[in-house]
Amino acid sequence: MIDIKHLTFPELQNFVVSVGFKKYRASQIARWLYKKLATSFDEMTDISRKGREILKETAEVYNLKIVNKEVSKDGTVKYLFELKDGNRIETVFIPERDWNTICVSTQVGCPIGCKFCFTAKDGFTRNLTTSEIVDQYLSVQRDVGLENRISNIVFMGMGEPLLNFENVKKSIEIFTDDRMIGLSKRKITVSTCGIIPGIRRMAKETPRVKLALSLHATEDETREKLIPLNKKYPIKEIMKELKNYPADNIRRIMIEYLMLEGINDSTEDAIRLSKLVKDIPVKVNLIPFNPYPGSPFKTPSREKIEAFQKILWNRGIATFIRDSRGQDISAACGMLRGKNKRTLKQ
């Protein structure tokens, strides 16, 4: 059985031809799945009953199951999805004034082990399939309704997207193909902790997609303590890679910088950060640390974060403070999953 949402458009064409349909049927099926958000072949009424039977015998439309949903006062919705094998992942819908964004997961758990991250605590289970990535978008779009159209996707949920490159790339093809979901590549951002081979592949294979780097520290000693993988891919090497990434002032690279009190929030850090990025078209996003029960870090005061921001602005670096959305729901990464697991065990 083929999971139909694994297929890019050319693959879908090959598939329909292989089961005896004319090629144009691929457009029809894609329209049902991606524009009309159909959840079964039975809904595809412009395909004959016999045709639908053939489809059902050879392929499946696999849909994620919503097992929990928390709606914040600010409109942010956090979804907990269950996969076929019982694993659970999170997706967040973030309404902005002029557009809507979703934050998708790419792995069950994560192998990187960042010290400040809640998801890291559970370790790594497996990569998500293309279909599981794509269906986070479809399921959320269906749930919030087509009047709240999702235009932006950030790969900033659970997992390290560049360690699941093939499936992330295929999902981007489905997200951006006009015959399928049809979003603009500029509105898709892939966030990485700095997997150099993955950044190189993005430069070649998904060049117009936006890149975000979770930097979080300005010298290797501190970064290594926060993100163990920094030993393999140190700051200088990553920066060299960013210089080679296709970017300009319109398509800037996003530098994410988590603010941790007493660890990376000093004036010297701000100055070092400005030097690290000075030859790269970047936009810096300062992310106030999102605490979770038992977390070993503290969030700096708003004044401290603004002072840090100001140093960067004064040195010509466009720097923004990411406002934390959904503060009244399970806001920090992985928290909804954690909470529900605890509930199940009790």
Active site residues: 90, 333
Nearest to ligand SAH of 27, 295 (CB atom): 295
Candidate residues 191, 230, 274, 309; the one interacting with ligand SAH per rule CB under 6 A: 191
Taking the C-alpha atoms of residue 289 and residue 15, their distance in angstroms, rounded to an integer, is: 46
Q: Phi and psi dihedrals of 89, rounded to 5?
A: -135, 165
Question: Is 335 a residue that touches ligand SAH (CB under 6 A)?
Answer: no
Toward ligand SAH, which CB reaches closer, 242 or 258? Answer: 258
H/E element, 41 = none
177 phi/psi in degrees, rounded to 5: -70, 125
Q: Residue 3, Cβ neighbours under 10 Å: how many?
A: 16
Query: Does 229 contact ligand SAH by CB under 6 A?
Result: no
Binding mask 97-116 for ligand SAH (x = CB under 6 A): -----------------x-x
**Quick check: 257 binds ligand SAH (CB under 6 A)?**
no
Each residue 139-168 as x (binds ligand SAH by CB under 6 A) or -, in order, gives -----------------x---x--------
Q: Looking at residues 299 to 328 of the shown chain, list those that interact with ligand SAH (rule: CB under 6 A).
A: none
The one segment of 127-135, 167-175, 187-195, 265-273 that binds ligand SAH by CB under 6 A: 187-195
Which residue, 8 or 218, has its beta carbon nearer to ligand SAH?
A: 218
> How far from 326 is each of 70, 161, 290, 302, CA to CA, in Å?
9, 23, 11, 18
Give CA–CA dist 333/331, Å, rounded: 7
Binding mask of the shown chain, residues 275 to 294, with x at each position contacting ligand SAH by CB under 6 A? ------------x-xx----
**Burial code of 181-200, b = ≥16 C-beta within 10 A, e = fewer?**
bebeeebbbbbbbbbbebbe
Q: Which listed residue (130, 152, 192, 230) binds ligand SAH by CB under 6 A? A: 192
Q: How far apart are the first and last CA of the chain?
A: 37
Residue position matching structure tokens 């990485």: 192
**Positions in the binding site for ligand SAH (CB under 6 A):** 114, 116-118, 156, 160, 191-193, 214, 256, 258, 287, 289-290, 332-333
